[in-house]
Amino acid sequence: MKLYRSKAVILSIMVGLTMIGCQQSLGKDHIIASIPEASGISYCNNSDTLVVANDEGYFYEIGTNGTVMYKHNIGKYDLEGVVCEDNNFVFALESGGLVRVDREEHSQQYIHVEGLGKFGKKRGIEGITKMGDKYILSLQTLSKKDAKLFIVELNDNKARVVDEIYHKIEDSSGLEMKNGILYIVSDTKNSLYLYSMAEKRILSTLKLPKFNQEGIALDNNDNIYFADDKGYVRKYKIDELGIN
């Protein structure tokens, strides 16, 4: 009996080590870049590159293979998300403001967002994406009833909230808009939600590998990228995650 138990214990340990090794290999295979405290990511259509924001006021432009092209600091801002446009980067700050940066000259402008209100403790803006000519900001909260999106209109030097949508997704830490579907990552839940903006409902929920999801981006070649707050950029094919 003791011998049987010993063999069982050894087999259990070997299986456990094999599973850990596979998970580590899977994770390493999908890491394409090391970016300290990566907190937001966006795909740039006109250059086929990615822009990655971090919590210390830096942003990086990288290739889709992870090659870092350059990094730039815009000051003591807690950058939590970014949208890449043809001529500008638009960063969302945890405190609720926006910073617009010219892609060529790197000149920058802080923009206050009217109508956000006060967030309280352990809450703040954690994601940004663009829908048509408007922006969507996500309020990160661990309460389903308070979990919402802000629809923001940005004109020249002014921004204001024009609508709010309660989506009931806890800890929404990153956003991406693609073909009418809003992709929302939840760090706490290690989940990816596909949300219909037209129907105002969750279409599907997909489990993600365990890492610190802080941003999400999709390119034009069926690749999906995540900003990992532990200091990485991860890349998957969308079918690897079960996205149709």
pLDDT tens digits for range 122-140? 688 999 999 999 999 999 8
Q: Is residue 21 part of a domain?
A: no
Checking if the pLDDT of 70 tops 80, the result is yes
Cα(208)–Cα(12) distance, integer angstroms: 25
Residue linked to tokens 């942003």: 59
Q: Is residue 27 part of a domain?
A: no
Query: What digits encode the pLDDT tens for the residues 87-113?
Result: 999 999 998 999 999 999 999 999 999
- Which contacts qualify for 16-19: CB closer than 8 Å, 24 or more apart? none
- Residue 196 β-bridge partners: 181, 201
Cα(62)–Cα(70) distance, integer angstroms: 7
Q: Which amino acid is at 195?
A: Y
Q: Is residue 6 part of a domain?
A: no
Report DSSP state, residue 221: S
Q: Is residue 130 part of a domain?
A: yes
Higher local confidence (pLDDT), 172 or 19: 172
* Domain limits for position 183: 33-241
- Residue 1, CA distances (Å) to 6, 10, 15 in order: 9, 14, 21
Confidence of residue 121 (pLDDT cuts 50, 70, 90): low
Question: What is the residue-averaged pLDDT of the chain?
Answer: 88
Q: What b/e sequence results for 134-144 when a residue is b if at least 16 CB atoms lie within 10 Å of its CB, and e otherwise?
A: ebbbbbbbeee
Q: Which two tokens stand for residue 219?
A: 């390119």
Cα(72)–Cα(222) distance, integer angstroms: 28
Q: Is residue 26 part of a domain?
A: no
Q: Is residue 139 part of a domain?
A: yes
CATH no. for residue 127? 2.130.10.10
Confidence of residue 3 (pLDDT cuts 50, 70, 90): very low
Cα(57)–Cα(44) distance, integer angstroms: 20
Single out the residue of 94, 43, 85 nearest to residue 219, CA to CA: 43
Q: Is residue 160 part of a domain?
A: yes
Checking if the pLDDT of 12 tops 70, the result is no
First to last CA, the chain: 50
The count of domains in the chain is 1
CA torsion, ordered 93, 95, 100, 106, to nearest 10 deg: -70
Q: Is residue 3 part of a domain?
A: no
31: phi then psi, degrees, rounded to nearest 5? -85, 125
